[in-house]
Chain A
Amino acid sequence: MLELRGVTYRYAGYARLVLHEVNLALRDGEIVGLIGGNDAGKSTICLVASGLAPASVGGELRGEVVIDGTPTTSLPVHALAERVVLAFQNPATQRSGVTATVFEEVALGPMNLGLPVPETIQRTRQALATLHLEHIADRDPTRLSGGQGQLVAIASLLAMRPRHVLLDEPTAQLDPEGSRLVAAALRDVAATGAALLVAEQKTDLLDGLCDRVVVVEEGRIALEGPTPDVLADERLESWGVEPPARVRISRALEGARLPTLHQLGWMP
């Protein structure tokens, strides 16, 4: 389990607090969606939950982040990497810059964990296959499209087989097929008992993926609950989040006094 207990955070050199008394628990095998408008604090929650803030980013943290019963502050960053991984928004900055092929790029994490070569190769092949990237395994990672780069970045983390996975807008540059692949891969990861936190603007992706959704607004948890309930909440748009297509269609049908998708039995 990964827990944020009363976390308040401020970036180094800033007077303003970015997170205020955030309490969030990610249970093993659970996928939790994290939504909110721009600058709401989603990326910061991911950084804090990963332990990178304040360990590497700096800043001031009050409260506690606990991973499997151990406070992150008591672990060095490389030990944190063996327990929790974080995928960033920009695939270009996730390239290591020290590898010549996509295969080597994906293999870098397992290599860094000190795994023997056969296991590194096996994990790399599996991560590439999961995201259907075998055909670009020999390509130069600097010459990929944004979507391909994002899939490679996620594959690089999956190959580490982490206990907990945090993803900050993992499908920002992906087409629908890429998003579906990532969603399926994340379900597989959760099935292994890992806890996942997915910060996303695409509520349609979260709708079919997450067990729970958390809304963050100005650094505070504004709402938390089962995915269907949160994504159907009337206040969602006021928090800068577009409801999923299912909800918008249902509302349009209701407005036109037509049977809703739920009443038609097309949606649960």
Chain B
Amino acid sequence: MAGGYLVPLGLVAIVLVSAAVAGILRRLVRLSVLLTLPIAISVVLVSALTRPGETVLFVIGPFDITLEGIDFAGQTLVRLFAISTAIGLFTLTTDPRAFVLDLERRGLSPRFAFVAAATIEAVPAMVSRAGVIAAAQRSRGLDTEGSVAARLRGILPLVGPVLLSSLTEVEERSLALEVRAFGRPGRRDLLWCPPDRPAERLVRWLLALALLGLVVARALGAWPPIP
């Protein structure tokens, strides 16, 4: 059982220490909790209430709450948190444009680099657009304040405009890029490459080795899957 917690918690510890060194610990924890919370709630409820097991801890109505169910929920939660903190650390410390530029420098197609950058930037761009549309709708009398139900009612009319304007913007942007010969085949001479210090290269190699080690450990059964 301990192995199911140890590795993910070890990863979380490494990520949190890295975040503390980078000065983004609070933002990372907040982001990770926000990312994990919706899934975590459903995982805990489903696992605790429906997971069969031999050790019944207590009973709620028709549901037996078992030790195995709680254990499964706990292992899933720490894994989810490990994933969300790792993703959070990446997005909070990496300039997406520098990232895709470096990928292109290493041979990635400019088109794929654009798709990657657009994907990374899509969420903040959509949030920003939603803010503008919400402000415009509020100025025309839409109520987006008050209780949760009132807020939900206020958000629904924004969904259509946000999605449609996002699609239109993507189309216009792709046209503007075509005008600038973005689809021209052949290599481009890039103006700069992101700085790459020896320490960063060393960390990258260590991470690659760690990934390899984890894959081997899983293959050899040293790190058991969730039961």
User: Which residues of A pack against B, CB within 8 Å?
Assistant: 50, 52, 56-57, 76-78, 81-82, 85-86, 88, 90, 92-100, 104, 107-109, 111-117, 120-121, 153, 156-157, 160
Contact = CB atoms under 8 A, between A and B. Distances in A.
B143 interface: no
Interface stretch (B45-53, B64-72, B110-118, B152-160): B110-118
Interface stretch (B14-22, B83-91, B170-178): B170-178
Contacts of A94: 172-173, 176
19 contacts: A52-B175, A52-B179, A90-B172, A93-B176, A96-B114, A96-B176, A97-B118, A98-B97, A98-B100, A104-B191, A111-B188, A112-B110, A113-B184, A114-B186, A116-B189, A117-B191, A153-B176, A160-B180, A160-B181
Contacts of A97: 97, 114, 117-118, 121, 173
Nearest to A105: B180
A153 B181 CA distance: 14
A224 B169 CA distance: 33
Given A81-B184, A114-B188, 20 more contacts: A56-B175, A57-B175, A88-B172, A92-B169, A94-B172, A94-B176, A96-B114, A96-B176, A96-B182, A97-B121, A98-B100, A98-B117, A100-B97, A104-B192, A109-B180, A112-B181, A112-B182, A120-B189, A157-B180, A160-B181
A117 B193 CA distance: 13
B172 A93 contact: yes
Contacts, number: 101
B187 interface: yes
A95 B97 contact: no
> DSSP class of B's interface residues: helix, strand, loop or mixed?
helix
Interface in B182-211: 182-192
Interface string B63-104: 000000000000000000000000000000001011011000
Nearest to A116: B189
A93 B179 CA distance: 12
Interface residues of B, number: 33
A81 B95 contact: no
Contact of A114 (B113, B174, B178, B184): B184
Given A98-B101, A100-B95, A120-B191, A78 B179 contact: no
A114 B175 contact: no
Nearest to A50: B179
Nearest to B122: A97
Nearest to B121: A97
Contact of A52 (B98, B178, B182, B191): B178
A43 to B, nearest CB: 11
Nearest to B186: A114
A90 B121 CA distance: 19
Contacts of B110: 112
Nearest to B170: A93
A109 B181 contact: yes
Contact of B178 (A77, A90, A99, A108): A77
Nearest to B124: A142
A157 B95 CA distance: 26
Contacts of B97: 97-100
Given A93-B169, A113-B181, A114-B187, A100 B175 contact: no
Nearest to B187: A114
Contacts of A153: 176
Contact of B191 (A78, A82, A121): A121
B126 to A, nearest CB: 13
Contacts of B179: 50, 52, 81, 85-86, 157
B175 A78 contact: no
Contacts of A104: 191-192
Contacts of B95: 100
A13 to B, nearest CB: 13
Most chain B CB within a 10 A radius of its CB, from A57, A92, A98: A98
